[in-house]
Structure 1
């Protein structure tokens, strides 16, 4: 097993240390640090970015060729770490002899530790790992403008002091959907940074809510779906996004994924908070809005290209979502282009 020791909590320095260990190409775009690795040690990408309010974000999409143990020692101000694994799994322990906690795909986790405590993350060789870490650095109560950090300290610190604490939560498909949205951001520069920051805050909120719901043991978190079935739901969601023009239905998706209608609906409700039919409709409407804005297609061409068969029905749901008709929206886009 290869052991890596990280001697800093600052994201840009962490990425620099990882580059020293793994080699690879390290670049920066709008303060987001990106390490691309493709060598005998492993292949993939590690990203990191810091935001205001003491929040940092790291993303791993890696496959290592040998077992890895990553050691990070808690600084004077112990961060609260929110983790999520969307593919593969990893383990954590406090110190080399501490009990190991495993985080599987679709599971949330929260970790914090006492001062000067070594935290170890274990990554298995020959396994595709996709995980994110959101670090919230605590501040003194007198610090201005960091109410989030203060509230998290109340939740996870005892008497304002961090203790060794590791929580592995229930399976959460809503976070998986937000991670997918993060990975699908095509923008660069400041636009990408703002989009990433918004989604990171949303993921953080979902993880905190997950912890709260697990403590209350609410019925909302009880699911009859297995991990494999949840993976099927995620893949079917991607299929809808990639092929919205197909005549999709609950029956078609059940047959494609090998799920019963009840399990399919339960999975979409967990992941998207809506029914299968409503999800398909929303994906189509969003695609239509983009086509109206970015192409010369007329409204009828847009309607039929995304799988709708009724223009009047499409106009109705488009207006309900965007508060204007498709024609009004296209006219506004045309007028804007002329004035520009």
Structure 2
């Protein structure tokens, strides 16, 4: 744990050369708090495995600013997702500048001769998620994701200085939003959950990258960007208020989108109908409450919008493999062992 924390702090120290601030940590998550002289916001950094780390830029700068990624001698791949705002990228020594749009994915390869610069514009609030893979350090081929990643890197290790501009992808955006609730961990189970989300984001990024390369980039939905953003906002609303008796008519009225566009958008973003998504959110919230609070099962059921305890228990068992009561007992037993 301490070794990974030190690696994250070293990465933040490199960024601190361009975005000055104070490096600190909260519950083992190192972050760079920007100084008021340069702007506001934080950059978090988590080292997951040797040569594999996740970073999040959540910044608003008071002036235009360039940031160079990585040390001079590094060979790295970066997988970016711009959740909010936009910024610009160029390779050091090259003239071409590319804009990173909101909800856009990017895969790029750095080497010693092609280091990446990111340009943040004045007063632009940017939330940028990044997964960094160091070619020289990441050797974990003991798990399926590791083998797939190594195969991908081996396919492109002669194309360093390469930039791939991906499609809009709201599914990745939804996973990144979930990191916000898991960012500052305070238990072993939360830490595992956080790392699991990071690996899911990595897997989704690689999956889209391979599809883009094999099939070429083409629109994957007929919805407009503004309509996709509305679907994203509605998804957040449902996650924040699962207890409300949501219906397709009420959400259609709230969003201004027709029922057919709502269903199309939820299928595109979540691979679920609106009703399936609402049920999933409520189940996940129920699992969290069962795991982290002293509420009894009935209290949990009615606090997250279900009206039938028997129905809730049926679908909970289908998803988690046991009844809510047994799940709560097993969770309590596991916490006692850890403590």
Q: Distance in 2 between matches of 1:142 and 1:36?
A: 32
C-alpha distance in 2 between matches for 1:30 and 1:216: 41
Superposed CA deviations along residues 259-300 of structure 1, whole A, max 9, x for unmatched, are 122221222222222111011112222323344455554444
* Partner Cα separation in structure 2 for residue 246 and residue 220 of structure 1: 37
In structure 2, relative to structure 1, the CA distance for the partners of 1:143 and 1:210 (3 Å cut) is closer
Counterpart residue number, 1:3: none
Aligned residues between the structures = 328
Tell me how far apart the structure 1 counterparts of residues 225 and 30 of structure 2 sit (CA, whole Å). Answer: 32
CA distance in 2 between counterparts of 1:28 and 1:337 reads: 25
2:81/2:128 contact within 8 Å kept: yes
In the alignment, the residues of structure 2 paired with residue 24 and residue 76 of structure 1 have an alpha-carbon distance, to the nearest angstrom, of: 24
Runs of at least 5 residues in structure 2 that lack an aligned partner in the other structure: 1-6
Q: Tell me, yes or no, if structure 1 residue 61 matches structure 2 residue 64.
A: no
**How far did residue 24 of structure 1 move?**
2.8
Shift of 1:103: 1.3
Report which stretch shifted further, 231-240 or 134-143.
134-143
Alignment partner of 1:201: what SS? Answer: helix
Residues 66 and 335 from structure 1, CA distance in 2 versus in 1: closer, same or farther, beyond 3 angstroms?
A: closer
**1:139 and 2:128 aligned:** no
1:136–1:149 contact (8 Å) kept in structure 2? no
The yes-or-no answer on 1:36 pairing with 2:33 is: yes
Q: Secondary structure of the equivalent of 1:39?
A: coil
Alignment of 1:320-331 (within 5 A): 320-329=318-327
What is the Cα deviation at residue 116 of structure 1? 2.4
User: Which residue in the other structure is 2:195 paired with?
Assistant: 197
Separation (CA, whole Å) in 2 of partners of 1:334 and 1:320 = 21
- Distance 1:311-1:220 versus aligned 2 partners, 3 A rule: farther
Q: 2:202 and 2:62 mapped to 1: Cα distance?
A: 31
Distance across 1 between alignment mates of 2:70 and 2:284: 45
Q: Give the Cα separation in 2 of the matches to 1:330 and 1:137.
A: 40
Is 1:119 equivalent to 2:78 in the alignment? no
Decide which structure has the larger Cα Rg and report it.
1
Q: TM-score, normalised by structure 2?
A: 0.84
In 1, Cα distance between equivalents of 2:140 and 2:325: 51
Q: 2:44 aligns with which of 44, 47, 50?
A: 47
Q: Please report the RMSD computed on the Cα atoms of aligned residues, expressed in angstroms.
A: 3.2
Partner of 1:271: 269
1:210 aligned to 2:231? no
Alignment of 1:132-211 (within 5 A): 132-139=129-136, 147=147, 150-158=150-158, 162-185=159-182, 186-188=184-186, 193-211=191-209
Please say if residues 14 and 70 of structure 2, whose CA atoms lie closer than 8 Å, have aligned partners that are also in contact.
no
- Which stretches in structure 1 are left out of the alignment for 5+ residues? 1-9
What is residue 249 of structure 1 aligned with on the other side?
247
How far apart, in 2, do the equivalents of 1:142 and 1:257 lie? 46
Distance, in Å, in 2 between the alignment partners of 1:292 and 1:141 is 37
* Partner Cα separation in structure 1 for residue 121 and residue 160 of structure 2: 27
